[in-house]
Amino acid sequence: MNFARICFVLAKLHKLCNLCAMSDISSKRLRQADIATRAGVSVSTVSRVLANEPGISDDVRRQILQVASEIGYPIKATPPASPGALALIASHGVTGGLSVFYEGIVEGLRSEAAKLGMPFDIRLAREARATPEAVREHLESVGAEGLFLVGIDPAAPLCKWLEESRTPVILVNGTDPQMRFDGISPSNFHGAYAATNRLLEAGHRRILHLTGSHRHTIRERVRGFEAAIASADGEGRVIRLPFEGNSSVEAHAATLAALAEDGGFTAAFCMNDFIAVGVLEAVTELGRRVPEDFAIVGFDDLPCAEMANPRLATMRVDRVALGRDAIGMMHFRLHHRDTPARHVSHAVFPVAGGSLEARRHP
C-alpha cells in the first residue's frame, strides 16, 4: 500500500471517529433531555446532578438519579463533593454604607473557595433578620455545611442555635468576645491606636473621633483611639453618629456642630473613609486649611480616600486577604470541628495623604 493510500484510509477513519463522537454527544443530550422530561425538571438541573454539583435538594437529586438508572443512562462515579459554605453579607446601613469594603472581602472568598474546590454561595441578609430559622433556611437552600457571617454580629438566639447545631462558623470582619466562634478581622484596636498616634506625632493634642455602630470591631477602634489619647496626655472627644442615612452627610453636620461648640480641636480620626470625607468637607467649608489648620486620618483605604482633595491619610485594610484567609479557616474548621475557636487579626498599614503632615510639637 502506497503512502497516498494510507493517508486516504487514515482520513476516512478520522472522519468516522468524529461522526461516532457526534452521535454519542447527540445521544447524551437526548437522554439528558429524556431524564429531564420524566423527572419534571430542566436539562440544566439534570446536568448539574450528573456532574455532582452542589445546590440541588436531596429529593430532586434522588429523583433524577432514579430516572437515569431506569432508562439506563450511564452514571459516572464521582468523588464525594467537598463540604460547601454559605456567606451571609450584611446589607444594612449600620456600617456606614461600606458595600465597597465587603466587595473586596467577597472577591477573596470567591477566589480562594474556587482554588480549594469548596462549593460556595452568597446571600445578602439584614442583621436583624438573621434569625435561626432564616439562617437554617439559607443553609439548606444551597446545601451548605459551613457559614460565613460577613459584617454580622450574631444575636443571642442565633448564637445559641449555631452552638447547638454545631454549625462551622467564621465571623468575617467580626469577632466573638466569648470566643465561641472563629473570627477574622483587621487589627482594629492597634490600627486605631496607630492612626491616632499619627495625629499625635504631628503635634495635635485635641482630637475628635467620629464613629458609630454597635459592632465589636468598631468599639475596638474607639478603645484604640482612647488609649492613644491617654498615652500622650491629650484630649479626645468621641462623636457617635446615628447612621440613619448617608454617613458622610452625618459626619459633615456633626463636625460643624462640634467645632461651633469648641473650635480648639485641630484634628480628627474617623471610623472609616466615608466619614473622613464628610469631616474634610465641613472643615473646608469653615475656611480651615487642611492639613495646616486641621488634620484628618481615615480608616480602610477605600476608593473615596484617593478621590478626595486632598487625598486622605488613612489606614489600609487588605480586604481581599481577609476573604482568602477566611476560606482557609473554614476549610480547617470543616475538618477539625472540635478544636478550640480562634481569632485572626490582620495588620493594617498607614497610607500617606495630604490631609496630614508632620509638624513640630507645640
Task: Report the CATH number at residue 339.
Answer: 3.40.50.2300
Query: Is the same domain home to 226 and 297?
Result: yes
Asked if residue 294 is part of any domain, the answer here is: yes
Structural domain includes residue 326: yes
Same domain, 243 and 297: yes
Provide the pLDDT for residue 138.
95
What pLDDT score does 46 carry?
A: 87
Which residues are within 8 A (CB) of 26 and not within 5 positions of it... i.e. 6 or more apart? none
Per-residue model confidence (pLDDT) at position 21: 40
Q: Are 59 and 88 in contact (CB under 8 A)?
A: no
* Among 314, 68, 35, 362, residue whose Cα is nearest residue 191: 314
245 plus 324 within the same structural domain: no
- Our count of domains for the chain comes to 3
Range of the domain at 22: 3-70
Question: Which CATH number characterizes residue 8's domain?
Answer: 1.10.260
* β-sheet with 267-270: strand ranges across: 235-240, 206-211, 267-270, 295-297
Please check whether residue 351 lies inside any domain of the structure.
no
Domain contains 97: yes
Q: Residue 313 has what DSSP assignment?
A: B
Give the single-character DSSP code of 152.
-
The per-type count for the chain, helices as H runs and strands as E runs, is 12, 12
224 plus 123 within the same structural domain: no
Residue 343 φ then ψ, to 5°: -125, 135
Closest C-alpha among 229, 226, 284 to residue 255:
284
Say whether both 148 and 192 belong to one domain.
no
Alpha-carbon distance 237 to 231, whole Å? 15
Residues 192 and 304 reside in one and the same domain: yes
Same domain, residue pair 336 and 305: no
Q: What is the pLDDT of residue 223?
A: 98
Q: Can you give the pTM of this predicted structure?
A: 0.76
- For 134, half-sphere exposure in the C-beta direction (CA atoms, 13 angstrom radius) is 14
Give the per-residue pLDDT at 20: 43
Are 214 and 136 in the same domain? no
> Residue 79 falls within a domain, yes or no?
no
- Among candidate residues 37, 70, 103, the one where a domain is terminated: 70
In a domain, 202, yes or no: yes
How far apart are the C-alpha atoms of 277 and 154, rounded to whole Å?
30
Residue 77: inside a domain: no
Assess whether 228 and 137 both reside in one domain.
Answer: no
Answer with the one of 303, 318, 333 that is the final residue of a domain.
318
**What pLDDT, on a 0 to 100 scale, did the predictor assign at position 101?**
87
Specify the 3-state DSSP secondary structure of 32: helix
Residue that finishes a domain, picked among 41, 70, 99? 70
Same domain, 311 and 268: yes
What string of pLDDT tens digits covers the 362 residues of the chain? 565 555 554 455 555 444 444 444 344 455 888 898 989 999 889 888 887 776 677 788 889 888 888 888 887 755 555 789 999 998 764 444 457 889 999 999 999 999 988 999 999 998 889 999 999 999 999 999 999 999 999 999 999 999 999 999 999 999 999 999 999 999 999 999 999 999 999 999 999 999 998 899 999 999 999 999 999 999 999 999 999 889 999 999 999 999 999 999 999 999 999 999 999 999 999 999 999 999 999 999 999 999 999 999 999 999 999 999 999 999 999 999 999 999 999 999 999 999 998 654 44
Tell me the residue length of the chain.
362
360 is a domain residue? no
Residues 196 and 288 reside in one and the same domain: yes
Residues 136 and 224 in one domain: no
State the pLDDT at residue 55: 64
